[in-house]
Amino acid sequence: MKTLNLTVNGQAVSAAVEPRTHLADFLREHEGLTGTHLGCEHGVCGACTVEIDGAPARSCIQFAVRCEGATVRTIEGFEDDAVMRQLRAAFSAEHALQCGYCTPGMLVTARDIVMRLPHLTGAHDEARIRVELAGNLCRCTGYQGIVRAIQRVLRQRAGIDAA
């Protein structure tokens, strides 16, 4: 067991963890944050995507003990986030989720796209948005609603469409 200190959703956390425990298991089993989902546990499907120090990361291929001192934000940590509020409204309006299993990871990635690439507001930017989404698999929606929801928020935030 090793002692781990980090910040999770704004709260300081200190815990004893096995070195082999990955961050997603730590969040789910130790912290009860079950919004972070496991789809493959080998870094392909993106369901476990969380923010580590402000950037999206796959928590299933990150050892928890490597996150000493890090700031981690999971889907449960975005309740007061204005961009996430816009994304959630857009995801619902565009039917961007069905079973909802990929959705927490998808929303964290979507928020990163919106914040990092605010200029992708044109119809021709769809291909780039799809490439940006390549690390998050969805088996239900065929991605169309997800892409449209992200486009909707990008255009709202750029003042092109009404929010």
Partner 1 sequence: MNQSDVKHIAGSAAPQGVGASVERKEDRRLMSGRGQFVGDLRLAGMWDVAFVRSPVAHGVLKGVEKPAGQEAAVFTMDDMPGVRPIRAVSGLPGFKPSEQWPLARGKVRQVGELVAACIAPTRALAEDIAQAVYADIEELPAVVDMVGARTAPPALVHDEWGDNIFLESLVDGDLSSIADAPIKVRRHIRTARQCMSPLEGRGVVCQWDSRLEQLTMWSSAQMVHINRQGLSECLGLDSGQIRVIAPDVGGGFGYKGILLPEEIVLAYLCMKLGRPLRWIEDRREQLIANANCREHDYDITVYANRDGRLLGIDCEATVDSGAYSSYPFSACLEAAQVGSILPGPYKMERYRCKTWSVASNKAPILPYRGVARTGVCFALELMVDAIAREAGMEPIDVRLANVVRPEEMPYDNITKKHFDSGDYPRVLRMARDAVGLREVRARQKAGEADGRRIGVGFAVYCEQAAHGTSVYFGWGIPMVPGHEQCRARLNADGVLELSIGAHSHGQGMETTMAQVAHQILGIDVARVRLSHGDTGQSPYSTGTWGSRSMVMSGGAVAAACKEMARRVKQIAAKMAGCDTGALKLAGGMVFEGDVPRMSLAEIAHVWHRAPQLLPADIDPAGLEVIAGYKAARDTGTFSYACHAVVVAVDTELGAVEILDYAIAEDGGTLVNPMVVDGQIIGGTAQGIGTALYEEMPFDENGQPLASTLADYMLPGAPEVPAIRIDHIETPSPYTEFGQKGIGEGGAIAPPAAIANAINDALRDMGVEVTESPVTPRRLLAAIAAARKGVAA
Asked if residues 107 and 75 have their Cβ atoms less than 8 Å apart, the reply is yes
| Contacts (Cβ under 8 Å, ≥6 apart) of 134 | none
CA distances, 108 to each of 6, 67, 93, 135 (Å): 19, 18, 18, 12
By CB under 8 A, name the one of 6, 23, 45, 52 that touches partner 1. 45
| Contacts (Cβ under 8 Å, ≥6 apart) of 37 | 47, 48, 101, 102, 104, 105
CB of 83 to partner 1, least distance (A): 13
Give the pair of three-digit tokens for residue 22.
């990955």
- List the beta bridge partners of residue 71: 7
Residue 42, interface with partner 1 (CB under 8 A)? yes
Q: In this complex, which beta carbon is closest to partner 1, that of residue 56 or of residue 104?
A: 104
Q: Which stretch binds partner 1 (CB under 8 A): 51-59, 65-73, 131-139, 152-160?
A: 131-139
51 by Cβ neighbours in 10 Å (0-12 / 13-18 / 19+) ranks as: buried
By CB under 8 A, name the one of 2, 66, 116, 139 that touches partner 1. 139
Residues of span 57-86 touching partner 1 by CB under 8 A: 74-76, 79
Q: In this complex, which beta carbon is closest to partner 1, that of residue 4 or of residue 91?
A: 91
Give the whole-angstrom CA distance, residue 120 versus residue 127.
10
Residue 155, interface with partner 1 (CB under 8 A)? no
CB of 112 to partner 1, least distance (A): 14
In degrees and rounded to multiples of 5, residue 50 shows phi and psi of -130, 175
By CB under 8 A, name the one of 100, 160, 161, 163 that touches partner 1. 100
Q: In this complex, which beta carbon is closest to partner 1, that of residue 70 or of residue 75?
A: 75
Binding site for partner 1 (CB under 8 A): 18, 20-21, 28-29, 32-42, 44-45, 47, 74-76, 79, 88, 91-93, 95, 97-104, 107, 126-127, 129-131, 133-147
